[in-house]
Chain A
Amino acid sequence: MKKAIHYINQFFAGIGGEDTADYKPEIREGAIGPALALSTMLNAEVTHTIICGDNYIGSNTDEAIKEILGFLEGKEFDIFVAGPAFQAGRYGVACGNICKAVKEKFNVPVITSMNEENPGVEMFKKDMYVFRGGKSAAKLKDDVKVMAAFANKILNGEKTGSADEEGFFPRGIRAQVWLESGKTGAQRGVEMLIKKLNGIPFETELPIPALDRVPVAAPIADLSKANIAMVTTGGIVPVNNPDRIQSASATRWGRYDISNVDRLESGVYKTIHAGFDPAAADADPNVIMPIDAMKVYLKEGKFGKLHDYFYSTVGTGTTQAEAARMAKEIIEKLKEDKVDGVIMTST
């Protein structure tokens, strides 16, 4: 029989409420509280329950995760479940943190459940299956049932459906599917258009995520002293593409030293972007990554310093989730060099 381990907080373990929220991590054999409910619905044995106080893990996150990962060392388990956390913010964040760490270290599927108002949803929905849960513990049984049904599919090696079909928050991952209807994109597009023209409701296949506006960053006060970095999604790379950045749906990026060149020469750099005819950019990579113009402005003293590297990836087919992740990785490098401003060229 397959095995599962379940994480819950001090309250659901029956230890106590806020007064015991500093409870240190503990592992117990068998299923306790929500884990007991899970064990009756799961095609697996819940061998252990991990308990931790919400405040303890909130204030000592790294230590708590380390201790809990230590408990799991050497234990066999096929799936890890946490919560459900409902609207309990600290509990939700704890479930997310633990699931993420367990997934990274042990590479097993992790599942949790939170209400959409739980801040843990935004923080972790892209990292794991976070099921849409109820507002309070009154929904405990329902939420556990949904998680158990999905967990059983994974444990049995069955095909799982989309986020909406299964009931978890979209993770920003695209999956290819064969439609049972067998209708091509062209047919579906025309059907949608006809519905739209006739004022009949239709469902888009490409929902645009809700607008997320970012406040304008403070402008550069003195450009002549500023350190500027160049970034592109136009796929300009050294001709051998050393970082093997994908030509579409990229998950990788690279940075390339331009401290000793006046421009990007054809034959040394090219584009690997699959979304347009590369001829012009291969003949002169500066039409996408204008290092030549930047170097002239630098010599003229218009700005103070050109960051030693330009950064590149491919924008076509790349999900927003991947783009955001790559940007965060790039930002770390920019901050190391105290970059003051960025020019991003997109194709």
Chain B
Amino acid sequence: MVKEIERAGIPVVQMCNLIPVATTVGSNKIVPTISIPYPLGDPSTSLETQWKLRYYRVGVALDALTDDIKEQKVYKVKI
């Protein structure tokens, strides 16, 4: 789906946990998430911790939409 969107000329960022799958399949901009069932908020942590992580990583994804890259990139995340 990511590739079809990109093929249509719309910049797209994939937020996912299975980075090797995303890189193999050919997503160009990838922001890692923390798990499959809860990509953006571990329920064993406090709501505040979850929110901080989610807000931060979504921000990385938004910035990635403006990034002028020439080849596939997996973005580094700090939290």
Q: Which residues of A contact B (CB under 8 A)?
A: 208, 211-221, 223, 226, 228, 231, 233-234, 275-281, 283-284, 286-288, 290, 292-294, 296-297, 302-303, 313, 323-324, 326-328, 330-331, 334-335, 339-347
Contact assessment for A223 and B39 in the assembled complex, using a CB-CB cutoff below 8 Å: no
B10 near A334 with CB under 8 A, answer yes
| Contact among B13, B36, B58, B69 with A297 in the assembled complex (CB-CB below 8 Å) | B58
Q: Which of B14-62 contact A (CB under 8 A)?
A: 14-18, 22, 24, 26, 28-29, 33, 36-43, 50-51, 54-55, 58-59, 61-62
Q: Assess whether A346 is in contact with B18, with CB atoms less than 8 Å apart.
A: yes
Complex: chain A residue closest to B69, CB-CB? A216
Task: Say which residue of A216, A326, A347 sits within 8 Å of B71 (CB atoms).
Answer: A216
Contact of A331 among B4, B28, B40, B69 (CB under 8 A): B4
Q: Are A327 and B37 in contact (CB under 8 A)?
A: no
Query: A278 CA to B35 CA in the complex, in Å?
Result: 12
Q: Report 30 cross-chain contacts, Cβ distance below 8 Å, ordered by A residue.
A: A212-B3, A216-B11, A216-B29, A216-B70, A217-B9, A217-B12, A219-B66, A219-B69, A220-B11, A220-B66, A223-B62, A231-B5, A280-B42, A281-B37, A286-B41, A287-B39, A288-B39, A292-B51, A303-B62, A324-B1, A331-B5, A334-B8, A342-B10, A342-B12, A343-B58, A343-B62, A345-B15, A346-B14, A346-B15, A347-B36
Chain B residues bordering chain A, tally (CB within 8 A): 48
In the bound complex, residues from chain B placing their C-beta under 8 Å from that of A275 are 36
Known: A217-B6, A297-B59. A343 touches B15 (CB 8 A): yes
Contacts of B68 in A (CB 8 A): 219
B41 lies within 8 A of A216 (CB): no
Q: Does residue B77 face the partner (Cβ distance < 8 Å to A)?
A: no
Instruction: Provide the bound-state CA to CA distance between A339 and B8, in Å.
Output: 11
Tell me the total A-B contact number using a CB cutoff of 8 A.
Answer: 168
Complex Cα spacing A220 to B62, Å: 10
Q: Which of B1, B17, B18, B65 sits near A231, CB closer than 8 Å?
A: B1
Instruction: Choose among B24, B40, B50 the residue with the greatest number of A CB atoms under 10 Å from its CB.
Output: B40
The 8 closest A-B CB pairs, nearest first, are: A327-B4, A280-B38, A346-B16, A287-B41, A327-B1, A293-B58, A276-B37, A341-B65
Contact A218 B62 (CB under 8 A): no
A278→B37 contact, CB < 8 A: yes
**Residue B7 CB within 8 A of the other chain:** yes
Does B74 make an interface contact (CB < 8 A)? Answer: no
Which chain A residues lie closer than 8 Å to B43 at the CB level? 279-280, 283-284, 287
When the two chains form the complex, which single residue of B10, B39, B50, B66 contacts A347, counting CB atoms closer than 8 Å? B39
- Measured in the bound complex, the distance between the Cα atoms of B56 and A297 in whole Å is 10
Give the residue name and chain of the B residue nearest to A325 (CB): B4
Take A214-B6, A280-B38, A347-B37 as given contacts and tell me if A287 and B65 are in contact as well, using a CB distance cutoff of 8 Å. no
- Determine how close the nearest CB of chain B comes to the CB of A97; give it in whole angstroms: 21
Which one of A278, A343, A344 lies within 8 Å of B1 (CB-CB)? A344
Residues of chain A lying within 8 A (CB to CB) of residue B11: 216-220, 340-342
Does B5 contact A234, Cβ atoms closer than 8 Å?
no
Q: Give the shortest distance, in Å, between A91 (CB) and chain B (any CB).
A: 27
Contact at B26–A277, with CB atoms within 8 Å? Answer: no
- Chain A residue contacts of B1, Cβ below 8 A: 231, 233, 313, 323-324, 326-327, 330, 344
Cβ of B6 and Cβ of A280 under 8 Å apart? no
List, in ascending order, chain B residues with CB within 8 A of A323's CB: 1, 4
CB of B19, distance to nearest CB on chain A (Å): 11
With A and B bound together, what is the CA distance between A95 and B76 in angstroms?
49
Which residue of A has the minimal Cβ distance to B61? A343
Contact B26 A212 (CB under 8 A): yes
Q: How far is the CA of A292 from the CA of B55 in the complex (A)?
A: 8
Q: How far is the CB of A44 from chain B (nearest CB, A)?
A: 39
User: In the bound complex, do residue B67 and residue A219 qualify as a contact, i.e. CB atoms below 8 Å apart?
Assistant: yes
CA of A343 to CA of B40, assembled, Å: 13
Residues in A neighbouring B59, C-beta threshold 8 A? 293, 297, 302
Nearest-Cβ distance from residue A235 to partner chain B, whole angstroms: 11
